[in-house]
Structure 1
Amino acid sequence: MDNKYEYFDKMYEVTGNNSKFGPPSIGICTSEGVALVSMKSRKSKLMITENMDTIYMIDDHIGCVLSGRIADGRVLIDQARVQCQNHRFNYNEKMPVQSCVQTVSAKASEFGNVKDSSLGRPYAVEMLFAGLCNDKPQLWHMDSSGTYMSYGIKSIGNIDETQLETLCTEVNSKQINLYIAISLAKKIIGMDSDVFILQI
């Protein structure tokens, strides 16, 4: 390609599409707490689903689920874990959820940096972060470009957007509690799901 920025845009488009074909996951943030619900991706009947981690603990107040290339996601998760422990060691406090997401975003956006030529493509992964900060539940989404935003309800992976809109309507209109919202999410993505809950 003539322009290097066109190349970067194409790479982000390809990796972004890859992350949309992973197993579906839903993050739900209510006034009572925050939860991640993720379907166990079973590619073979010989696989033991109990040993298939779909939700990762970053610290005792932050959890994460990812969709896309698992190897890429684990690199970013290791980055988040190291930064959380460094923050705890240096400041004797838990790392704020947004600060944790920001450090992962900085790592994910290294692609295209002329100072770091080792990264030949973007990280092909989308991530949902659920955590508590000052007893306030938070849900953050980060895409393959490193862009992150806060949400009340967000999904990643291969999921029907119409069903997610129905879940959003149920949660917002009826102000249902966290556990009923989790039950509704499991109906969308499957009852054989992993659940991570942080409750106030």
Structure 2
Amino acid sequence: MTSIGTGYDLSASTYSPDGRIFQVEYAGKAVENSGTAIGLKVKDGVIFAVEKLVHSKLLVPHANRRIQTIDRHIGLATSGLLADGRHISNRARDEAANYRETYNSPPPLKAVADRLGLYVQAYTLYSSVRPFGISTILGAVDNSGPSLYVIEPSGVFFGYNGAAVGKGRQLAKTELEKLKLSELSIREAVYEAARIIYLVHDDAKEKDFELEISWIGSESNNLHAHVPDDLLKDAEAKAKAALETFE
């Protein structure tokens, strides 16, 4: 029995007879139409990589980044609607700052992900708001070591060793599963992340894109930072060479 087109998809607060909330499912479709974002948890840190599709040649390079710093040791990457991603990153900063102020210590990623998941889930409860059209990857190196979480538009979140969201997530997940993530160093993971993003972009190669990569770990003194330009260019060159070999 299908419920699409019978009025059950007009509000986020209405269930269909088979127990689905279509507005949340539609938010997931918005993520699937966006560039791919991946996260890797390796032995000495966390890597984020994003395929930022360039919609106009007039855009300034590196503007409207899809990787954000939440706290000094926490990074965030989103796939989906760009404005929703900015809103969620600002909310995540507020939650991290609130934890730091309340407990006078750096916020653990689990606490930030938990609070952010509750916030996202609240937007699936009321007919006056719409769910966020993004999936969010959160990563950090804290007292428990490297950690990585993904928050879905429904508000559910899970911990991952490697995660992918966006248009090319299935191929990216397949490639991530081939890696021995627990044995990779953070610098090696930069090359793997670049290779995977170039590989998944190959399906939409008529569109230009910008590769964004950031890391948290031993190479950055456990602080979230974008990778140095020379390393990024080297990783891109090797990713292009690997793609030609793959073809």
Normalised to the residue count of structure 2, the TM-score between the two structures is: 0.73
* Corresponding residue of 1:136: 145
Q: Determine which structure has greater relative contact order: mean sequence separation of CA pairs < 8 Å that are 6+ residues apart, divided by chain length.
A: 1
Larger Rg belongs to: 2
Deviation string, structure 1 residues 56-111 (Cα, Å, up to 9, x no partner) = 11110111010111222222211111111111112110111011111111111113
Range 103-112 or range 6-15, more displaced: 6-15
Counterparts of 1:107 and 1:66 in 2: how far apart (Å)? 16
SS in 1 for 2:54: coil
* Corresponding residue of 1:101: 113
What amino acid is aligned across from residue 103 of structure 1 in structure 2? Answer: R
SS in 2 for 1:43: coil
After superposition, the Cα gap between the structure-2 partners of 1:90 and 1:167, relative to the gap in structure 1 and judged at 3 Å, is closer
What amino acid is aligned across from residue 197 of structure 1 in structure 2? Answer: W
Counterparts of 1:65 and 1:86 in 2: how far apart (Å)? 21
What amino acid is aligned across from residue 47 of structure 1 in structure 2? Answer: L
* Corresponding residue of 1:122: 131
* Corresponding residue of 1:73: 85
Please list, as runs of the form range in 1=range in 2, the aligned pairs for 1:129-168 lying within 5 A after superposition. Answer: 129-134=138-143, 136-159=145-168, 161-168=170-177
Counterparts of 2:89 and 2:169 in 1: how far apart (Å)? 26
Aligned length: 196
Per the TM alignment, residue 163 of structure 1 is displaced from its structure 2 partner at its CA by: 4.6
Is 1:27 matched with 2:39? Answer: yes
What amino acid is aligned across from residue 199 of structure 1 in structure 2? Answer: G
After superposition, the Cα gap between the structure-2 partners of 1:81 and 1:8, relative to the gap in structure 1 and judged at 3 Å, is farther
* Corresponding residue of 2:183: 175
SS in 2 for 1:50: coil
After superposition, the Cα gap between the structure-2 partners of 1:73 and 1:8, relative to the gap in structure 1 and judged at 3 Å, is farther
What amino acid is aligned across from residue 81 of structure 1 in structure 2? Answer: R
* Corresponding residue of 2:25: 13
CA RMSD of aligned residues (A): 2.2
SS in 1 for 2:167: coil
Would you identify which runs of 4 or more consecutive aligned residues in structure 1 move more than 6 Å? Answer: none
Range 125-134 or range 159-168, more displaced: 159-168
SS in 2 for 1:139: strand
Contact 2:175 2:196 in 1 (8 A): no
Deviation string, structure 1 residues 27-67 (Cα, Å, up to 9, x no partner) = 00011111101123211111122223120111101110101
Normalised to the residue count of structure 1, the TM-score between the two structures is: 0.88
Identity percentage of aligned residues: 23
Contact 2:84 2:134 in 1 (8 A): yes
Is 1:189 matched with 2:201? Answer: no
Structure 2: gaps of 5 or more residues:
1-6, 199-208, 219-247
Counterparts of 2:60 and 2:90 in 1: how far apart (Å)? 24
